[in-house]
Structure 1
Amino acid sequence: MKAAYIDKVGSYQEIKVGELPVPKIDSLEVLVKIDYVSVNHVDTFVRSGGYQTKLSYPFVIGRDAIGVVQDIGSQVDEFKIGDLVWTNSMGYDGRNGVSSEYAAIPVDRLFKAPDVDEKQLIASVHSSATAQILLADILKVKSNKSILIEGSAGHVGTKLLQISKILGLNVATTSNRRDFERLKELGSDQLIDYHQSVTEIGNTFDYIIDTSGKVDLNDNLHLLKLYGQIGMITAPKSDKFSFDVRNFYTNAKSIKGFVISHASLEQLRGAGRALNRCFEKGQLLDDDILELPLSDAGEAHRMLENGLDSGRRVVLDLK
């Protein structure tokens, strides 16, 4: 089968596209013929060695894929041959990736796909699952509370906005003014120009998530209400912050970091079920997509690392 793989971690030039054996499945795995694979920044971290995780070589890259069931293990009863399915937790922690014509996927990391556009679904799942787990499991948000999403026009930001509204939150967003109309359509209750200092916003929030890494932590801490929480999914290049400790602890505030690569299987499965409910309603399927052939897997990594994707979700076509 054709596959995009590496024999060692390193630059995007280490990615090879060639023939590998079709994987054999065990009793609790499903063999999937892959249709589309999304390419995410986290894939570049794994491939480069920037994210330390167990790999076996040749290592097939990529974690998120959608395709059709070709064969099932002897103990699998949740799926049948011909089912359209998706996964978003392969390609790290000892599991081979999915940028290949066929992939063997553990049954507990697989979800039936609703009848929606395949490319839109697989383009959505990484950002959407990140947003779902951060809001529902890490911050444990409550309806009718308020949230500020900074850098809300990006992939994760738009998903955080939409899922926050689904969960019943009042949402304020910061972005470039050119994105105001789209964010309002997605449900933003308060549109804030990102050029404006957060200290000038005027109101406070129960939850704050900065997707950009460009807002001073101390400024955001001062925008939190009593018992307020910051969800941290990125950090500035300086990797340094200082904050007013007395104000922080006397108001029982908290900072909770999260990366989806450390999400538990229970969290991933809960997110998968929640996302499928949204997909069935046509929600979260709104990304601008750049489609490339599998042979351009290295080019896809190069584009992401150099910011050449122009805000689009990169999807590899294996159909």
Structure 2
Amino acid sequence: MRAAYIEERGPADVIRWGELPDPVPGPGEVLVDVLAVAVNPVDTLVRSGRFPTPLPFPFVVGRDLVGTVASAGSGFAAGETVWCNSLGHEGRQGATAERAVVPADRLYRLPDGVRPEEAVAVLHPAATACLALFRHGGLRPGETVLVGGAAGNVGSALVEFAVRAGARVLGTAAPRDHDHVRSLGATEVVDYRAEHLAERLAALAPDGIDVHVDASGHNDPRTAVALLARRGRIVLLAGFADEPVLPVGPLYVKEGSVRGFALSHATAGELAEAAQRINRLLAEGGLRPRAVEYAPMSAAAEAHRRMERGELHGRRIVLLP
């Protein structure tokens, strides 16, 4: 088969496109013919070595795929359309290949009527949002959620999941994106560059924020803690190099909590739990990507370069075999 792979960690230039032996499924694994693969920021961290994880070389890059079952096994029938969003780390080969072997407990059926090329673009952001809100944020109906970076890939999914769960959602985004965020169900959207931003958000949530999740990559614990309701929760899921100061006094007085969350550490059970919510929302017509670029798998190195240069601005790159 043809695949995008590396033989050592390093810059995007180490990615090669060429022939590798066909993968062979073992017990509890399923062979999948790949239809589409998404390119995620975490893929660049794994490839470069910034996110340390065991890699078998030659290592196929990529985390998420949608494909069809090549041969029946482990409860899946040949020809079923399936997806996975947890390949390419912890010793598992990646997704950017014509065929991939997927552990059956990490493989899920795609709902009927959902286009594989669109679905693959949202799987990673959706799982991040879902686990951040429910597993780590403990979101309950009627609570108030603040989503920073609400127009981005993860931010949009956060808004959709929170609204569907019966929460009141506030978001921050650039003015050009306010209509989009409101279309997802947000009650109020504020320009993240607005003067006196904290005061404006406090006025919109006089009883405080129950779950604070900032997907923008710029964490401001001082403001987040000031906005928290009693026993409010801050979930950290972005800001790889951030080292801000945490105001401990106000946090403990409010009985608040701060929890870090990286999707790469989610268990198979947690991912399966999120997959059920993701599939329900996909089947209902939600979680559709705003902007997708399509390219061949042979362009994986250039896709990584563009992502690392910050050129995508919320667009998703989907690679096709």
Q: TM-score, normalised by structure 1?
A: 0.96
For 1:164 and 1:278, the matched residues in 2 are separated by 12
Give the corresponding residue for 2:16.
16
Give the corresponding residue for 1:289.
292
Cα offset for 1:39? 0.4
Indicate whether 1:217 and 2:221 are aligned.
yes
For 2:197 and 2:246, the matched residues in 1 are separated by 15
For structure 1, the residue ranges without an aligned partner over 5 or more in a row are none
Give the corresponding residue for 1:309.
312
Q: Which amino acid aligns with 1:176?
A: A
Give the corresponding residue for 2:260.
257
Cα offset for 1:252? 0.2
Cα offset for 1:265? 1.0
Distance 1:280 1:176, change over 3 A: same
What SS class does the counterpart of residue 72 from structure 1 fall into? Answer: coil
Alignment of 1:67-146 (within 5 A): 67-73=67-73, 76=74, 78-115=75-112, 116-146=114-144
Indicate whether 1:50 and 2:47 are aligned.
no
Cα offset for 1:215? 4.7
Q: Which amino acid aligns with 2:214?
A: D
For 1:168 and 1:57, the matched residues in 2 are separated by 46
RMSD: 1.2
Give the corresponding residue for 2:2.
2
What SS class does the counterpart of residue 250 from structure 2 fall into? Answer: helix
Identity of aligned residues (%): 37
Q: Which amino acid aligns with 2:198?
A: T
Q: TM-score, normalised by structure 2?
A: 0.95
What SS class does the counterpart of residue 71 from structure 1 fall into? Answer: coil
Q: Which amino acid aligns with 1:246?
A: G
Give the corresponding residue for 1:193.
191
Give the corresponding residue for 2:148.
150
Q: Say if 1:61 and 1:98, in contact at 8 Å, map to a contact too.
A: yes
For 2:118 and 2:183, the matched residues in 1 are separated by 18
Distance 1:310 1:151, change over 3 A: closer
Runs of 4+ in 1 over 6 A off after TM superposition: none
For 2:145 and 2:3, the matched residues in 1 are separated by 42
Q: Which amino acid aligns with 1:213?
A: G
For 1:236 and 1:212, the matched residues in 2 are separated by 11
Cα offset for 1:136? 1.0
Q: Say if 2:37 and 2:66, in contact at 8 Å, map to a contact too.
A: yes
For structure 2, the residue ranges without an aligned partner over 5 or more in a row are none
Output one character per residue of 1:59-108: Cα deviation in whole Å (capped at 9) or x when no partner: 001110011111134xx1x2100111111111000000111111111111
What SS class does the counterpart of residue 71 from structure 2 fall into? Answer: strand
Output one character per residue of 1:206-225: Cα deviation in whole Å (capped at 9) or x when no partner: 11111123352111100001
Q: Say if 1:124 and 1:287, in contact at 8 Å, map to a contact too.
A: no
Give the corresponding residue for 2:238.
234
Q: Say if 1:198 and 1:220, in contact at 8 Å, map to a contact too.
A: no
For 1:63 and 1:114, the matched residues in 2 are separated by 20
Q: Say if 2:84 and 2:107, in contact at 8 Å, map to a contact too.
A: yes
What SS class does the counterpart of residue 224 from structure 2 fall into? Answer: helix
Q: Which amino acid aligns with 1:250?
A: V
Q: Which amino acid aligns with 2:8?
A: K
Number of matched pairs? 314
For 1:199 and 1:297, the matched residues in 2 are separated by 40
Q: Which amino acid aligns with 2:244?
A: F
For 1:160 and 1:223, the matched residues in 2 are separated by 18
Output one character per residue of 1:102-148: Cα deviation in whole Å (capped at 9) or x when no partner: 11111111011112111111000000000001111111110000011
What SS class does the counterpart of residue 278 from structure 1 fall into? Answer: helix
